[in-house]
Amino acid sequence: MTGKQDRASQAEAAAKAEPAPPCAMVIFGAAGDLTKRLIMPALYNLVNAKRLPEGFRIVGVDRMSNTSESWAEGLTDTMYELIKGDGEFQADHIDEGSWRWLTDRMTYLQGDLTNAAAYSKIGGHLAGLEKTAGTQGNALFYLAVADRFFSVVVAGLGAANLVEEKDGKWRRVVIEKPFGHDLPSAKSLNADILKTLQEHQIYRMDHFLGKETVQNIMALRFANGLFEPLWNRQHIDHVQITASETVGVERRGKFYETTGALRDMVPNHVFQLLSLTAMEPPISFEADAVRAKKAEVIEAIRPMTPESALTDAVRAQYAAGTVSGKAVNAYRQEPDVAPDSTTETYIACKLQIDNWRWAGVPFYLRTGKFMKRRWTEIAIRFHQAPYTLFRDTDVERMNPNWMILRIQPDEGIALQFAAKRPGPTVTLGNVSMDFAYKTYFDMAPSTGYETLIYDCMIGDATLFQRADNIEAGWQAVQPILDAWASNPVKDIPTYVAGSNGPDAADELLARDGRAWRPLE
């Protein structure tokens, strides 16, 4: 099939995709950054993709006084600001017709999330939309609020009978991260919300899973006879998962001080990448089949001892430096950050998965803020070929073979291998076969939230975490949290903002005779 034919097939497939069923989407935290910078751009992209139904309405809820008109105006201003930046929303203009379609369906309600009256007001409004706007009584409640309000909102919805499903009407709740701050709090939060909701109503959001390359990992592994036979300890030396950012904590100092890089990224984003990379084949693409296999592999992570948690995990904090050509402050100089803070903005660790497929294969994870490059990838290093054949040639060493799954910003897949250089002698050079989504497929603009919001509306939970998956992730990192709590540091190691990270992270791999892939 040619590229032109394939793109035609894509267009045909896209045209067959049905719009979501009618519903009202209630956004708690309507005035927050998440709503402005990710949720509303994602909904705008869904309008352009013709995935939203005529009977769709948005209800914004927040404690600040506002009107529907001024809320929509503020969101409009933000959308135009976003097209000038380099964030998740990538567009060179705003289609006024598509945006107006969305703003015409927006209403704003002022309400205190701790007050039962707010939920009564929401219930009355939803009943009105069912009669006048054709939402058919379906509702998606999106909790774009601080995590301390998750249980509060769910309990409020339950007390107001807003999550009861009857007469064919569905009610679903989207919960953003962080889902807990450690294993006990994650278990407590799961227990709290399951008092009100059934598991099938809960959609625990992780927008990394909306990335095309993340979704393609299962297709790459399980649809290609070329790769799956090699996807094991007999052929793979180690795996590196990187999620580096070129932003600091921005205006989130208060949140970050109590969170840090480990809690913020590893049990959710990074473990989602790990689980899709390492999971066993599910028996189908049904949500429960996929999520069960993802949970299994996280549960198979070898528990760290107090000693190994200190040696196999590295923490550091960014110092002043230059990022993307701009001078930036040290973390301790950020607003709402303590001048003697020991909160980590970088975490690297080595994990082992104790099962038949991966025994003996280390998984190295790293994530940090104010790094050299904004880059998320899964890098799979295959075992080195024997050198014996090349001993009497000009080849001094064997070149490594890598498969690189690029998640963002340049989504694609690369395979690196050795080839003979032209000439009379035998010498080798590294070459790369590179597939980029944007050059082969017609990709619509995406923040990563579009697929996930659409899946919530159609009731597909495949890309969302189940309670056991969440708790398994916290179980794996809890020994690190405990070891750090038992061994506090007065002066946390630092790395220069705009660099590859701290020296200790390089030493973590060097102990095993390995090295991180450079962020270049």
Q: pLDDT tens digits for 224-257?
A: 888 889 999 999 999 999 999 999 998 889 989 9
Each residue's pLDDT tens digit, 272-327:
999 999 999 999 888 889 889 999 999 999 999 999 999 999 999 999 999 999 99
Q: What pLDDT shows up at residue 1?
A: 44
Q: Counting every residue, how long is the chain?
A: 520
CATH number of 209-380+461-510: 3.30.360.10
Q: Under CATH, what is the fold of the domain 3-176?
A: Rossmann fold (3.40.50)
Number of H helices, E strands in the chain: 18, 17
> What is the rounded average pLDDT of the residues 101-108?
96
Average pLDDT on 18-26 reads 95
Give yes or no for a contact between 319 and 337, defined as CB atoms under 8 angstroms apart: no
In the chain, where the domains are located: 3-176, 209-380+461-510
> What is the spatial distance between Cα 260 and Cα 488, in angstroms, rounded to a whole number?
14
Asked if domains 3-176 and 209-380+461-510 share a fold, the reply is no
- Phi, psi torsion values for 257, nearest 5 degrees: -60, -35
Question: Tens digit of pLDDT for each residue in 478-512?
Answer: 999 999 999 999 899 999 999 999 999 999 999 99
Residue 225's CB is within 10 A of a number of other CB atoms, namely 7
DSSP three-state, residue 403: strand
Please give the mean pLDDT across all residues of the chain: 89
Catalytic residues: 269
Triad 112, 113, 119: Cα angle to 5°? 95
**CB-CB contact of 433 with 412 (8 Å):** no
Cβ atoms 219, 441 nearer than 8 A: no
- Are residues 173 and 141 in contact, defined by beta-carbon separation less than 8 angstroms? yes
Confidence of residue 17 (pLDDT cuts 50, 70, 90): confident
Residues in CB range of 286: below 8 A, 6 or more apart: 462
For the full predicted model, state whether its pTM sits above 0.75. yes
Q: In the prediction, which pLDDT does 477 show? A: 97
